[in-house]
Structure 1
């Protein structure tokens, strides 16, 4: 079997998100002697990434150009591709490109790497934090948001409907997302929507359960719209007053990093450490608790990574797939969105009770095994063969 992964950007396994899970799944397929290729929907030179050939379009600026269409058709033919896994998403220009004039017998699976209902629930925050944010702040009226929400539902309804129609299956990241499609669609063929977890691109580290320090950890982009990093400072101010011997490490870069650092200095917050974009492994080895303040996530792989290192995660129950990872008070803590006072109290209860935290960390490492790449690869193969 020959599988082609299509992505919006070059696949680099040391990067985060879609790139990392794609490289992980590709490695699991290769271990089963399946041939794997990458196609980046951008310009570049053909290269090899850890044994996988990565192709680029002749002109990544416009997918619909004839030169790109011809290149894609030739690539499929010359490499005898059997299966396309579209990691580039449901968007119209992508679906039009990957599905156009596919030779008979090639199966196409489109993966949606985001939540479903949360796109609507957080729509106002998304718009305000985007390129039209200034306009949205000026026109913050009920009628304005009603019109925009109607347009949003219509647009994404079209995206999902076409992705389902043009693919052998639309693949979501959690079973909980399937019924949420009703946010945008009245119905769909049940056999054309599936759910498969992202593979965990790391191993469980039992030794990391021991030698922990009194450290909290945040790992991710430093921005406000989705990650809500503006909550990290008031959270830490309240926690540090009650636990003065604890430290808080913030690992990640982003548009609000400098602003957050300035606010922390202005507020003279102690034991707060900004590390920018760097390898989180040394911090995961030391931390006892990982904090997530996101308003939404497609999956939240950092939660799984924390559990693999024996770090107990705490997060808002603001996207349905989080309950696929965190079993509340068993391998992590869930907080009603977006109750910061409750978040602080639940976090404080975790920090002051080591006899509760350690068993949660142990159980977290056990639950991570369901995301192991070999298991996820077999689920993909079951789906692929069901469409033969």
Structure 2
């Protein structure tokens, strides 16, 4: 059966893009017919590598479309582009980017699918597929965040719609339990399949650089404001250490102002996005995760894969399922910036401890490599097909 992924923008750089491509590329390597349906294209070249065997369909090209079209259909499209989406849930964090035009394009394409498997990658897409996909299409919804972080209206829509999916794929044990309880009397089957990373072929960090690293969207969820506050304490006793934050997002100006207000501009640097995260991690000695909440914590896995110990808030719901506390990293009370600072200082002061944690991380993280996680996807697809695909 053909595998179709529906995603916001496959050309982007977010965690969902990375994890979808890890799976899609793996399936293509295993001779599956894979298509990625990207609602948007907001850059000319994809940020991450896409296997050439994968068909990529762009529904709305924001980069190359004519801004002032002369043809009637183009003019109609521009009008529809200015009208708010009716089919994407209003509490989707990117609702403002969608429009009546993207509604029509999504609806038309989804209705063109007569069979195969459709894997959707955010709540509003899961809901959309449950409502509008044809009966011959098997539906797999993915949840990248936990149920508790959603608004009441979105929770209601999820509760109403997800039961019509064939499978719901979750990332953590807690989420799996929550969703199984929520849909205990529905046809949807809930299965845990964590995010994955490609097999690591780079160099592990020597853990001797005076660098703490963090990465992610510059948005409130990621808690970089808390991390900057915490690092202000760190540099009082370790002024030669630096914090490098990689990523982009709407909070860049606010975070830059916070750095200026705290007078830590010699130690805290907003680095922007990078395609060479592994290279940057290989030059770091500690990874810091300050998220207020996480769906999983993909960056933790990536750091551990480079042998970098992680200090993380024990936020809901992913970090505690990845980090073995005081063995390959440190978990601190969620939101406690003093505890975060203390734990960073602990690892800064103890290079030998960093190296022990780093070695343990290299062993722990192998369970998340795509060869292991990919087999779980093959099992799921085999169940849907009614035939177990041989490993």
For the pair 1:50 / 2:51, whether they are aligned, the reply is yes
TM-score, normalised to structure 1's length? 0.78
Partner of residue 239 from structure 1, selected from 234, 239, 261: 234
Aligned-pair CA distance for 1:190: 8.6
TM-score, normalised to structure 2's length? 0.78
CA offset digits 1:183-204 (Å, max 9, x no partner): 9x38445971111011214626
Against the structure 1 CA distance between its residues 197 and 328, is the aligned structure 2 distance closer, same or farther, given a 3 Å change threshold? same
CA–CA separation in structure 1 for the residues paired with 2:180 and 2:127:
23
> What is the RMSD of the two structures over their aligned residues, measured on CA atoms?
2.9
State the match for 1:83 in structure 2.
117
Against the structure 1 CA distance between its residues 155 and 61, is the aligned structure 2 distance closer, same or farther, given a 3 Å change threshold? closer
CA–CA separation in structure 2 for the residues paired with 1:69 and 1:91:
11
- Is contact 1:303-1:313 (8 Å) kept? yes
CA–CA separation in structure 1 for the residues paired with 2:8 and 2:293:
21
State the match for 1:261 in structure 2.
256
For the pair 1:110 / 2:141, whether they are aligned, the reply is yes
The total of aligned residue pairs comes to 341
| Range 190-199 or range 57-66, more displaced | 57-66
State the match for 1:156 in structure 2.
155
1:101 counterpart SS class:
coil
Aligned-pair CA distance for 1:360: 0.8
Partner of residue 210 from structure 1, selected from 206, 210, 216: 206
Aligned-pair CA distance for 1:37: 0.7
Partner of residue 296 from structure 2, selected from 294, 299, 314: 299
Aligned-pair CA distance for 1:347: 1.9
- Is contact 1:204-1:308 (8 Å) kept? no
1:208 counterpart SS class:
coil
Aligned-pair CA distance for 1:317: 0.8
State the match for 2:129 in structure 1.
95
Query: Which runs of no fewer than 5 residues in structure 1 stay unpaired?
Result: 121-151
CA offset digits 1:316-349 (Å, max 9, x no partner): 1111221121111111111111222222222211
State the match for 2:221 in structure 1.
226
State the match for 1:72 in structure 2.
110
For the pair 1:342 / 2:301, whether they are aligned, the reply is no
Partner of residue 310 from structure 1, selected from 307, 310, 331: 307
CA–CA separation in structure 2 for the residues paired with 1:67 and 1:41:
8
Aligned-pair CA distance for 1:82: 2.6
Query: Which runs of no fewer than 5 residues in structure 2 stay unpaired?
Result: 61-76, 78-97, 387-391
CA offset digits 1:223-281 (Å, max 9, x no partner): 3x212222223211211112233222122222232333233234332333231223333
- Is contact 2:6-2:121 (8 Å) kept? yes
Aligned-pair CA distance for 1:353: 1.5
- Is contact 2:37-2:58 (8 Å) kept? yes
CA offset digits 1:108-139 (Å, max 9, x no partner): 1111111223x16xxxxxxxxxxxxxxxxxxx
Alignment of 1:326-365 (within 5 A): 326-365=323-362
- Is contact 1:63-1:69 (8 Å) kept? no
CA–CA separation in structure 1 for the residues paired with 2:270 and 2:40:
33
